[in-house]
Every structure is written in structure tokens, then in C-alpha cells.
Amino acid sequence: MSSASGACQPRPMTEFSAAERAYLSSRRLGRLATVDPHGQPQANPVGFHPQDDGTILIGGQAMGTTKKWRNLLANPKVALVVDDIVSERPWRVRGVDIRGDAELLTGPHELGPHFSEEVIRIHPRRIHSWGLEGPGAGGV
């Protein structure tokens, strides 16, 4: 794959804990937040794929034609939230909030035949998680 923008500068990434990696590997849907050129936020549900190198890939159909793609061309800052409800009574939630830089890639990849060649790679810079460990965390 090649980079469609020079948006992502090489910097050290924040690493996921074992509990965060296990949780992310057990989920398929998150919410991706970007900012449009007018400074307005946009959040969309997206499928995501954690990678062994600590990055997250996001693909889709015709990804290169989406507003999220255009937003990231102008501003590579991104957030991805993955969460769920473990229990309603008592109320227990868990999740991971990933902030980072997006790298826009084009070309062949291994995400599957239903994805376009455009893929977003998130390089995490800040990771915050809750409810993944300890009593009441729920099985991952």
C-alpha cells in the first residue's frame, strides 16, 4: 500500500495493554471521529481491524469517496471509540478510546474483497480504556 497523504509523521506510538488488545480483537464495530475543513466534528460507525504492529486499519466500500476520507486529507487527527455495555443492572460499561494520526493508504491489502483499495491506518498517540479489568469487567 502507498500513502495518499504525507499526513502522518513518524513518531513513537502509544502501545495497547494486553487487556486492550484482547478487547479490540473481540469487537468489530467502533465510531470514528474526524473534523471537517470548517472545524465541525463528524462521527461514523466503522469496521476496524487491529494490526500486529499496534495500528488499526479501517476499510470500507468506496472509502476514497467518503467525507471521512476527505476530512482526513485536510486534518489527519482522528479518534476511534470502541465500547459496549457489559451489564445494565448494575450498570457496567467497558471500552477503548484511541486518539491518533490517520495515514491514508491506497493499494492492495488483505482486509477482504468487499473493501475498496483505500484504507485508513490509525497510529495511536493516546489510549484510554475503562472497565476491561477487575471485578465486573465481563469476558472478552
List pLDDT tens digits, range 8-56. Answer: 444 456 899 999 999 999 999 999 999 999 999 999 999 999 999 999 9
- Which residue type sits at 85? I
Domains in the chain, CATH or no CATH each? 13-127 (2.30.110.10)
What's the confidence (pLDDT) of residue 6?
Answer: 44
- Average the pLDDT over 91-105 and give the result: 97
What's the confidence (pLDDT) of residue 12?
Answer: 55
- Residues whose CB is less than 8 angstroms from the CB of residue 25 and which lie 6 or more positions away in sequence, other chains included: 50
Q: What angle do CA 106, 112, 116 make, to 5 degrees?
A: 35
Residue 60 in this model has a pLDDT that exceeds 70: yes
What's the confidence (pLDDT) of residue 84?
Answer: 97
Contact predicate 16/124, CB 8 Å: yes
What band does 138 get if pLDDT is binned at 50, 70 and 90? low
Residue 5 in this model has a pLDDT that exceeds 60: no
What's the confidence (pLDDT) of residue 107?
Answer: 82
Bigger pLDDT: 14 vs 89: 89
Bigger pLDDT: 136 vs 17: 17
